[in-house]
Amino acid sequence: MHVHILGICGTFMAGLAVIAREKGFHVTGSDQSVYPPMSTLLEAQGIEVTQGYEPLTTMPDCFVIGNAMTRGKPVVEQVLNGYVPYYSGPAFLAEHILQDRWVIGVAGTHGKTTTSSMVAWILESANLSPGFLIGGAPQNFDVSARLGKAPFFVIEADEYDSAFFDKRSKFVHYRPRTLILNNCEFDHADIFDDLGAIKKQFHHLLRTVPGEGLVIANGESETLDEIIAMGCWTPVTQFLGKGEWRADPLSADCSAFSIQHHSKKVGEVHWGLLGRHNMHNALAAIIAARHAGVTIETACEALNTFLSVKRRLEVLGSPRGVTVYDDFAHHPSAIESTLEGLRNKVGPGARVLGVLDCASYTMCSGVHNQRLGEACKEADVLYCKKSRTSGWDPKMALTEKTHRHYDDIHGIITDICQEAAAGDHIVIMSNAGFEGFHTKLLQALQGENNGGA
């Protein structure tokens, strides 16, 4: 069967394309922006990609339409005017890939990508060869998606909508047998009016988990308690808070910790990651793997060799003795966890310089203004660029004397080059390309250019 994917170069859709190709479908695709690395990845898989959204001359057997696609694009109108079946990405995945699989879904406002990668690596280390679809680049694998062997399939269960014709959250399509609920906070202000709307979607997700499955929920989240109270027909086990599972740090930066079950120590992890948020992600992953039949000992041994995901406090270089990190943090809770973890690692004597790019619709809408300043408290200096895509001004949310505000990235780079000293740690927090800031800063620190211009 010939499947044509619209918006194929997005992370999710490209992963879906690779899996569909492995499943035996003839896969082609279209996208407005076709360039490396996604274009070369798809080319290496033998998947033909065309630039733009003009009508097709050869019709496929079905279309898969990405959630970035809108009415008015010529090929979308061609699909709707014709008689060719079409699916959202999650619906196609559910019908053609996940039907006979034990799906392990990881949901939550934060930690989905990292926790999904942990679960996949634990199952891989247990010789179970899981399939997976992860919205990032897990460094223990050379791909972000693969079909794998039955029964297990690990997926990042995203609450964002499925397509312009299906406004349900993606995760309601996946029907997980094992479901991790890491947290639930307000996000995606472009499609959700308030936290209540997100809670409703999470409740719909719980309705799809079978009675013989397992829900693994963060016991410190009152919001998750409220969602479960709305109706749950599946056994629930909780970690943290009042739950039966917890993780206790063995080091200040959480690079070593123990696993406790019913107050009994059942394992230890010693790894290269840091921060309480990653320790808690690991705990959830261990519980999920245990439900799939993997021993706690095997899971802990696997996490000892876990390499995280790119853009999660990833070290980019250390020019002039200044360590530069790239982190995907784009929400106050994630920003706070990242900076706290780095502070605990480097200690109170080292300076932490934060660079914040508020690129998401939610952050730029200002709904998190009251929390943002507190979330950045561990940064000795915070450099923040005003958004180009909205009227949001960081000066409204970031009022401390140590918070610097800029109209462009060049001013940030110039000031950092003048102020940064050996032993400093610079963490760049952005969920976008940030106008090539990462590379420009490294080059400027190395003396290769002036101010990133």
| Pick from 207, 200, 285: nearest CA to 239 | 285
Q: Left (φ > 0), alpha (ψ -120 to 50) or beta: where does 434 sit?
A: left
DSSP code of 54? Answer: P
| Model pLDDT, residue 72 | 94
CA dist., res. 238 & res. 417, Å (int):
46
CA dist., res. 54 & res. 30, Å (int):
9
| Model pLDDT, residue 318 | 86
- In the structure encoding, which two tokens stand for residue 277, read together? 């948020």
DSSP code of 150? Answer: S
| Pick from 131, 143, 125, 127: nearest CA to 102 | 131
Residues 356-395 as b or e (16 or more Cβ within 10 Å = b): bbbbbbbbbebebbebbbebbebbebbbbbbbeeeebebe
β-sheet with 403-406: strand ranges across: 314-317, 323-327, 425-429, 352-357, 381-385, 403-406
- In the structure encoding, which two tokens stand for residue 55, read together? 């009508």
Distance of CA 225 to the CA centre of its chain: 23
| Model pLDDT, residue 401 | 63
* Summary count for the chain: helices (H), strands (E): 14, 23
Amino acid occupying residue 88 = S
Model-wide pTM > 0.85: no
CA dist., res. 188 & res. 250, Å (int):
35
CA dist., res. 369 & res. 394, Å (int):
8
Q: What is the pLDDT along the chain (453 residues), one digit of tens a residue?
A: 999 999 998 889 999 999 999 999 999 999 987 766 677 778 888 899 999 999 999 999 999 999 889 999 999 999 999 989 999 999 999 999 999 999 999 999 878 899 999 999 999 999 999 999 998 778 889 888 999 999 999 999 998 899 999 999 999 999 999 999 998 887 766 677 888 999 999 999 999 999 999 999 999 999 999 999 999 999 999 999 989 999 999 998 889 999 999 999 999 999 988 888 899 999 999 999 999 999 999 999 999 999 877 677 788 888 888 899 888 766 677 788 788 878 888 888 889 998 888 766 555 555 555 667 677 788 888 888 776 555 556 665 565 666 777 778 888 899 889 888 899 999 888 876 777 888 888 888 888 554 444
Per the CB < 8 A criterion, the answer to whether 146 and 128 are in contact is no
- In the structure encoding, which two tokens stand for residue 88, read together? 């959202």
| Model pLDDT, residue 216 | 98
- In the structure encoding, which two tokens stand for residue 14, read together? 């490209």
Q: In DSSP terms, which residues pair with 217 in a beta bridge?
A: 181, 238
| Model pLDDT, residue 451 | 47
Amino acid occupying residue 41 = L
Per the CB < 8 A criterion, the answer to whether 4 and 48 are in contact is no
Per the CB < 8 A criterion, the answer to whether 131 and 152 are in contact is yes
| Pick from 281, 274, 276, 252: nearest CA to 180 | 281
| Model pLDDT, residue 361 | 56
CA dist., res. 86 & res. 4, Å (int):
9
Burial of 99 (0-12, 13-18, 19+ CB in 10 A): exposed
| Model pLDDT, residue 450 | 46
Residues 157-194 as b or e (16 or more Cβ within 10 Å = b): bbbbbbbeebebbbbbbbbbbbbbbbbbbbbbbebbee
| Model pLDDT, residue 453 | 41
> How many CB atoms neighbour CB 293 within 10 A?
12
Q: Left (φ > 0), alpha (ψ -120 to 50) or beta: where does 148 sit?
A: left
3-class SS at 229? helix
Residues 297-328 as b or e (16 or more Cβ within 10 Å = b): ebbbbbbeebebbebbbbebeebeebbbbbbb
Q: State the Cα torsion 234-238-242-244 to the nearest 10°.
A: 110
CA dist., res. 57 & res. 59, Å (int):
6
